C-alpha cells in the first residue's frame, strides 16, 4: 500500500520474487530493486486544487447563453463511446 512521505504518496517495494521476469522482452534488463526501495513518488505540486465527487451540468445555460442544444441524448452518447472503446480493444488487443 502506498505510504505518505514528504512528497505525498510513495510506492515502496515490500517483497520480491526474483524468479519472475518483470519484462518479457530480452532487450530490457530487469531493474535491480531491493525491498524498501521507492519506485514511484507523487509530488503534491501536481495535485488538482480541488477534487469534486460529483459534476452536474445545466444544459439550460448553454441553450440560453449560446443558443445551443444537444442533438444526442446522454444514453446514446454513452453507447457511442462504449462502441468506440470496444473497437480500440479489438484493434489493439487490450
C-alpha dist (Å) from residue 14 to 5, 21, 28, 35, 80: 16, 17, 23, 5, 42
What pLDDT sits at residue 2? 43
How long is the chain? 94
Residues 8, 43 contacting (CB under 8 angstroms): yes
Does 74 have pLDDT greater than 60?
Answer: yes
CA–CA distance, 74 with 47 (Å, rounded to integer): 30
Q: What would the mean pLDDT of 27-55 be, rounded to a whole number?
A: 80
pLDDT digits (tens, 9 = 90+) for 43-71: 888 877 777 778 888 889 999 999 999 99
Number of H helices, E strands in the chain: 2, 3
Is residue 15 scored above 50 in pLDDT?
Answer: yes
pTM of the full predicted structure?
A: 0.37
Q: Bigger pLDDT: 81 or 6?
A: 81
Residue 35: all three cell numbers together: 525491498
* Coil/strand/helix, residue 93: coil
**Cβ(35)–Cβ(11) below 8 Å:** no
The mean pLDDT of 20-40, rounded to a whole number, is 76
Amino acid at each position: 500500500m502506498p505510504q505518505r512521505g514528504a512528497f505525498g504518496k510513495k510506492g515502496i517495494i515490500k517483497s520480491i520474487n526474483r524468479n519472475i521476469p518483470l519484462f518479457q522482452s530480452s532487450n530490457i534488463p530487469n531493474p535491480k530493486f531491493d525491498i524498501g526501495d521507492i519506485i514511484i513518488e507523487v509530488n503534491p505540486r501536481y495535485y488538482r486544487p480541488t477534487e469534486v465527487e460529483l459534476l452536474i451540468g445545466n444544459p439550460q445555460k448553454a441553450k440560453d447563453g449560446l443558443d445551443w442544444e444537444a442533438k444526442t441524448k446522454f444514453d446514446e452518447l454513452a453507447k457511442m463511446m462504449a462502441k468506440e472503446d470496444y473497437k480500440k480493444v479489438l484493434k489493439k488487443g487490450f
